[in-house]
Amino acid sequence: MESLDLKHQKVLVLGLGRSGQSAANFCAQRGAQVCAADERADLGTNLSLSEDIEVRLGQAFPDPADFDLVVPSPGVPPERYRASARRVWGDIELAGRALPVPIIAVTGTNGKSTTVMLIEAMLKACGLRARAAGNLGNPALDLLGEPLDVAILEVSSFQLETVESFRPHVAVVLNLSPDHMDRHGDLENYAAAKRKLVEQQEPSDIAVLNEDDVQVRQFAAHTRARILPFSRHAESPSQASSGRIWLDLGQAVLSEDGKQTRLSLTPADSLGETHRDNVLAALAAVWAFGADPVRALDGLIDFKLLPHRSEHIATHKGVRFINDSKATNPGAAQRALESTRSPLLWIAGGRDKGLSYRSLAEAAQGRVRTALLIGEAAQKIESELHGSVPCLRMENLEEAVLRAAALAQEGDVVLLAPACASFDQFKNFETRGDCFRDAVLQMTEGNPE
C-alpha cells in the first residue's frame, strides 16, 4: 500500500456528515489544503471542522479536476466526481492507510452492524483492545490515536466504491441480496462493489465467507486470501478449505486440519434465530484473527442488540411489538418474517429502492395475518403481495400501529420490517424506529406487560 503523504495536497471533501467532517479534519491535520463542500446550506452550527479548512455550503460542488484528491462521503454518487477526479479515496481507504493496527472489516447486505458489534464484544472478552467503527456511525478515522490492538470496521457498498488498496487482515462477507439498485443499477455492479473488500487481500490474510450464499461463495475466486467458510450446515459444497465453521444442534463446530472443536452457543439464544448467522460469522472472524473462541463466547453473555434490529418494544394484551426498522430491503424483511414463529401483523413500506418484493409474498403466506402498508412503495408492495396476504393501506406509521394492535390476537406479533428506505417520511431508519417505539408505548401508556 502506498504511503499516506497529504502534505501540500489539494483535497476536496464532498459531503459534511460525520464521516465527511472526520475525513476533512484528518486531511488538514496531515498538511493538506482542504476544501470541504456540502450543497446543504443549513449545516453551519452542526459542523466541527478545523479553522484552516475552507468550507463551502449551499452551492454547487467545486470542480473535482482542480484537486489532487477527492474524498467523497458515501452518500455522494460517483457520477458527481468520478469523470474528472484525479484520485478518489473515501474515508475507509484513508483509514486503511493510516490505522497502525490490523483491521477486521465486515460487509454484506444485512447484519453488518450487529456482526461488527459482536466481534468487538468477543475480542474484548479475549482481553484485546478492540473498537468498532465505520458505517454503523462512528467514523473509521476517529479510531486514530486510540490505544488499540485491532479495529473492526463496518463497510458498505457505497464506501467500497471509493477504496483503492484497502486490505483488511480479516474480511467478513455475510450475504448478498439485491439492495441499493437505485445506486448500483444491477446486482452485478452491487456485487462488484462488495468484492472490493477481498480483492486486495494477500495469502497471509483471511476471507470469512458465508458458504450458504451462492453469490458470496463466488468471492473466493476474487481473492488471494485464505478462505474460512461459515455455514449453517455440516455438509460443504466445497471441500477445498483447510478450516471451516458450522452449526450443529445449537453448537458451533470449528474444524481445522482434521481436528474439531464444539462450542455451545447457548449465550446467543437471547439474540434470536435472526442473528444466528451473525453470531457464527463473528465467531469465525475472531477465530481467524487468532483469538481464543472459547473465551470469545463470554462476550455474548451481556451482549445487547443495537436498537431497531429485531428490538422487542413491549408486550401488550399478549401481543408482542417488534421494531426491525433496520430491515431496509426485502432480504432483511424476509429474514425477519421467517424467523418469527408467531402469527404476524406486518408493517412495511417506505421509499422504494428499485427492488422486487416478490420473495416476500412467499415468506408472508401462512405467516402474516395482515400486511399494513405505508409510504411511497405501498402500492408496489401490495401488487406484488396480491393473493398471498391481505393488505391494508395506512396513511402513516402511527395509524398502522394502532390498526395492527386492533387486529392482533393474543400470541400474535406486530412486526415493523419495512423492506424499504425511510426517506419518504423520516430522516433515517432510526427516526422511523423511534416513531414506532413511541407509538407503541403511547398506546400502552408506558405500562407494557
Element (H, E) at 174: none
Place of cell 458470496: 216
Distance, CA of 12 to CA of 317 (rounded, Å): 56
- Among the listed residues 25, 110, 112, 308, the single catalytic one is 112
Residues 162-171 as b or e (16 or more Cβ within 10 Å = b): bbeebbbbbb
Residue from 303, 308, 278, 247 nearest 106 by CA? 278
What cell was used for 318?
Answer: 399478549
Instruction: Check if the beta carbon of residue 198 is closer than 8 Å to that of residue 219.
Output: yes
State whether residue 79 is helix, strand or coil.
helix
State whether residue 21 is helix, strand or coil.
helix
DSSP 61: P
Distance, CA of 225 to CA of 343 (rounded, Å): 44
- Residue 259 phi, psi dihedral angles, 5° rounding: -105, 140
- Residue 211 phi, psi dihedral angles, 5° rounding: -70, -20
> In 3-state terms, the chain is what percent helix, strand and coil (to 5)?
35, 20, 40
What cell was used for 345?
Answer: 401483523
State whether residue 110 is helix, strand or coil.
coil
What cell was used for 191?
Answer: 456485487
Distance, CA of 149 to CA of 131 (rounded, Å): 9
- Among the listed residues 110, 135, 210, 278, the single catalytic one is 135
Is 180 labeled as catalytic in the residue annotation?
Answer: yes
Residue from 113, 91, 83 nearest 16 by CA? 91
DSSP 63: P
- Among the listed residues 110, 169, 175, 180, the single catalytic one is 180
Distance of CA 407 to the CA centre of its chain: 33
Burial class of residue 208 (count of CB atoms within 10 Å of its CB; 0-12, 13-18, 19+) = buried
CB within 8 Å of 354: residues ≥ 6 apart = 181, 182
- Residue 26 phi, psi dihedral angles, 5° rounding: -60, -50
State whether residue 387 is helix, strand or coil.
coil
**Looking at the annotation, which residues are catalytic?**
112, 135, 180
